[in-house]
Copies of this chain bind each other. A is one copy, B any other.
Amino acid sequence: LKIALLPGDGIGPEVMDQAVKVVNAVAERFGHKITYQEAKVGAAAIDATGLPYPDETHQVCLDADAILFGAIGDPKYDNDPKAKVRPEQGLLLMRKKLGLFSNVRPTFTFPSLLHKSPLKQERIEGTDLVFLRELTGGIYFGEPRGRNEQGTVAFDSCVYSVEEIERLARMGFEFSQKRRKLLTCVDKANVLATSRLWRETVQRLAPEYPDVKVEYEFVDAVAMRLVQWPKAYDVLITENLFGDILTDEASVISGSMGLMPSASLGTENKLFEPIHGSYPQAAGKNIANPLAMVLSAAMMFEYAFGLKEEAQVVSDAVNASLEEGVATEDIAEEGRSYSTSAVGDWLA
């Protein structure tokens, strides 16, 4: 099994190290042979090569059976709206060039961490939902985008084709069939032409999946209900920008951003990444929570290699660490926190 390692920026490298320890431990136990190739992306790549997603990195990704990715972003680029090259472009290029059209973001709770959530326990206990966020279309990539000549007007374009919507929607129906058989299509069909095409396409496909109940909800309503009663949802499908906002909102349910993994799936390539960002304030301090990255590796075993048992032992280890209180400061009990690498060692 060939894994590409793209640690990226900020805390990316530190949390990646822990994922690698865990993957190695699993490989040893189950007798898999794993080889790694590391490559740069984001600010790390800009600093080294001038480009946020260099060709060498792309080649490493193409050659791999799965890609583990850490995080991207550096504050020195954020408040400079005129910066020509930005780390995030690396992430967007990577998604686009690897055809990673579906970002799978589960949200669930850990019994031992329910009290950490800003939401009341009875509202979130048992939450088990998964977003499928379209990842290579919409306003993230639509043309034209830019400014008029005088620089006084800016514009972006949101564009979706039926094919783009259909492949994501079909994945949503299939996920639902393996779960609680409820699919929620999240859009803004009362305002946007693209949303109406989403809704129409999902309506057209629905009869092919008669066992799945389909609901249509506006994005603003979902932004509310997600906090009010997240248990109402099973599988949610949505376009790129709505998915960006709602999945980050949903991550709060579990009590910490540092916990939620994700998979970005394409026809050929599969990438796994924590949903948290590069958290630059914590970089190099050995305090960042590695669990989202480790759980992303668990998703890799399942979604890229079809190795469910391997995925399960990783999740079990994470649960055990939480129950034992082997946790970084963001989720540890007062005065009992472990370092990033100590958590990684324990899990491995």
For A155, list chain B residues within 8 Å (CB).
142, 157-160, 193-194
Q: Which of A79-136 contact B (CB under 8 A)?
A: 79, 81-82, 86, 88, 92, 118-120, 123
CB–CB B224/A147 < 8 A? no
One of A173-181, A247-255, A281-289 at the interface? A247-255
Asked if A162 CB lies within 8 Å of chain B CBs, one says: yes
Known contacts A118-B227, A147-B193, A221-B248: A153-B158 contact under CB 8 Å = no
Chain B CB within 8 A of A62 CB: no
Please provide the chain A residues from 257 to 292 with a CB less than 8 Å away from any CB of chain B in the complex: 257
Pairwise interchain contact A220-B244, C-beta atoms closer than 8 A: yes
Contact B223 A154 (CB under 8 A): no
- Provide the bound-state CA to CA distance between A161 and B153, in Å: 4
CB closest chain-B residue, reference A148: B161
Number of copies: 2
A248-B223 contact given A139-B158, A197-B147, CB 8 Å threshold:
yes
Flag A215-232 by CB within 8 Å of B: 1 or 0 each.
Answer: 010011101101111000
Q: Which of A78, A191, A197 has the most CB of B within 10 A?
A: A191
Query: Which of A73, A140, A154 is the most central at the interface, judged by chain B CB atoms within 10 Å of its CB?
Result: A154
Across the interface, do B78 and A216 meet the contact criterion of CB distance under 8 Å? Answer: yes
- A320 at the A/B interface (Cβ < 8 Å)? no
Cβ B227 vs Cβ A193 within 8 A: no
Q: How far is the CA of A25 from the CA of B246 in the complex (A)?
A: 43
Take A248-B223, A249-B227 as given contacts and tell me if A189 and B78 are in contact as well, using a CB distance cutoff of 8 Å: yes
Say yes or no: is A63 at the interface (Cβ < 8 Å to chain B). no
8 Å CB contact of A118 from B78, B119, B249:
B119
Give the residues in chain B near A245, CB-CB below 8 Å.
Answer: 219-220, 223, 242, 245
A-B contact pairs, 8 of them (CB 8 A): A92-B191, A145-B193, A153-B159, A154-B160, A154-B194, A155-B158, A155-B159, A228-B252
